[in-house]
Structure 1
Amino acid sequence: MNFFYVMNAKSIKTVFVIVIAAFFTAWFFYMDNMVQIPAFSAKDGPKAIYKGEKDLALTFNIGWGDEKAEPILDVLKKEKAGAVTFFLSGSWAERHPDLVNRMVKEGYEIGMLGYEYKDYTDLEEDKVRRDIQKAQEAFKKLNVKNIELLRAPTGHFDQRTLKIAERFGYTVVHWSLDTKDWTNPGTEVIAANASKAKKGDILLMHASDSAKQTAEALPLVLKDIRSKNLKMVTVSEMIANGESKSAEVK
């Protein structure tokens, strides 16, 4: 009986060790997958810009829609907003060549938002490359030249995205402050979110049709920026005017 008891205890100990090892192995793979999603930079690899050293960059994403972009352009013109960067999906740009042409004529910077507005972290590497190439072709046909900035569609990217963008010669641009205007929380809330902006911030707004209150909130946002004596610059100007910041994935 004693011999049987000892063997049984050893068996239980062995099973316990196996279970613990399996748990930590599963946890390791889970964490390995998690760290790929919020990546801004690798220690020695390409980086995504999310913040500058000085000034303020106001940026707009447009992935789809037919109604909201023009009113926002009207407000920017009326308010003499000056330097603004628009990140456009290639598919939207193809459908709205007149608006793209207006952006260029009015002096706004154009960045790329991919083509089909799909999450790059969900796509195979070859599909990410094809999406970028398709967007390149779309902007080339529209005679939009010298695009150097890429913002990942949906805002999600990983180290693989950074490396692909680098091969194409693009700088990936994220943001440091999200106005959350696409949630339509009310113009005052949008303005309050934007009022947190300070020197060096890259501010995110939207001009897709989901952003129903952005045009109305925009004058309040611009008024607050001016009250702080923050100079508005394009993202490219912000990068050129001082050191840009990125967050390293540990």
Structure 2
Amino acid sequence: MSFYTWKTERLKRYGVVVVLALFCALLLWVGQWSQLPVFSNNGEPRALTQGSEKHSQVALTFNISWGTDKVHDILKQLEAHNAQATFFVSGEWAERHPDIITKIHEGKHEIGMMGYKYESYLEQEPQQVRADMNQAKEIFEKLGHENIKWIRPPHGHMDKEVLKMIEDQGMQAVQWSLNTRDWENPGTNTIIDAVLNEGSKGDIILMHASDSVKQTPKALEVILPGLKQKGLKFVSITELVSGGESETTQVD
């Protein structure tokens, strides 16, 4: 009897180990899926506005649709501080300046799009919006960027219909949680204060790299080390999203 009792107990222990192993495997599997972004609610697509506040990360984003001077100054600042960013670029600008697109990519920065012509999608017919996105995708594919995942609609203008068209293209709309309004050139210190006083974990920070910004490169000299001192790491939009729970905004 003792032999069979011993054998039964041993089988029970093995059974518990197997069950625990399967449970752990299930948790890992679920965990992987939970890290994937969810950008819809009841079937309605949403725009990404912020990353998880659980991680000490921020995403610097730069819009660029015209000019070639300021982008180089901004890239120098990012390189000097080993800061990664995401550049949202219009297809028309990318087509004209493939060398700068290459420079952005070689700097380990992420590239997103802003359509082709950089004209508000709310002022165009649906077929025009689709054509604009398709034209932009073709340009980026020719430049060697076949899998553009992120799009910031021109001027940030979007509604439910635009978001659905973006989703149909296999892309995700990205807004921001902190707007520096640097294109207004409000003063270098004003831009610095907007970021350092308000910037926090998970923020998507909106800045510009078009020639309209006169003070942004100088502001970055203080912003980049300042955010580091706050314990924040610069990441791409992709890395920000993969880090955990992200916030989205419902668009009417």
Percent identity over paired residues = 46
Q: CA deviation at 1:145?
A: 3.0
Q: CA deviation at 1:249?
A: 5.1
Q: CA deviation at 1:66?
A: 2.3
Task: Rate the CA distance shift 1:152–1:41 in 2: closer, same or farther, 3 A.
Answer: farther
**Alpha-carbon separation, structure 1, partners of 2:119 and 2:75:** 25
One-letter amino acid matched to 1:66: T
CA contact (8 A) 2:64 2:88 kept: yes
Q: CA deviation at 1:43?
A: 4.7
CA contact (8 A) 1:42 1:249 kept: no
CA contact (8 A) 1:112 1:147 kept: yes
Counterpart in 1 of 2:201?
A: 199
SS at match of 1:169: coil
SS at match of 1:50: strand
**Alpha-carbon separation, structure 2, partners of 1:146 and 1:124:** 25
RMSD of Structure 2 on Structure 1 (CA)? 1.5
User: Is there any run of 5+ residues in structure 2 with no aligned partner, and where?
Assistant: 1-38
Counterpart in 2 of 1:48?
A: 47
Counterpart in 1 of 2:174?
A: 173
Counterpart in 1 of 2:144?
A: 143
One-letter amino acid matched to 2:219: A
SS at match of 1:107: coil
Counterpart in 2 of 1:75?
A: 77
Counterpart in 1 of 2:90?
A: 89
SS at match of 1:204: strand
Counterpart in 2 of 1:122?
A: 123
SS at match of 1:74: helix
Counterpart in 2 of 1:228?
A: 230
TM-score, normalisation: structure 1: 0.81
When the two structures are aligned, how many residues end up with a matched partner?
Answer: 210
Counterpart in 2 of 1:216?
A: 218
Cα deviation code 1:115-164 (max 9, x no counterpart): 10001111110000011011011111111232100111111111011100
One-letter amino acid matched to 2:155: T
**Alpha-carbon separation, structure 1, partners of 2:87 and 2:43:** 29
CA contact (8 A) 2:40 2:46 kept: yes
Aligned pair partner of 2:60 in 47, 51, 58: 58
SS at match of 2:231: coil
Counterpart in 1 of 2:244?
A: 242
Q: CA deviation at 1:194?
A: 1.0
**Alpha-carbon separation, structure 1, partners of 2:130 and 2:72:** 30
More strand as a share of residues: 2
Task: Rate the CA distance shift 1:59–1:249 in 2: closer, same or farther, 3 A.
Answer: closer
CA contact (8 A) 2:61 2:206 kept: yes
User: Is there any run of 5+ residues in structure 1 with no aligned partner, and where?
Assistant: 1-39
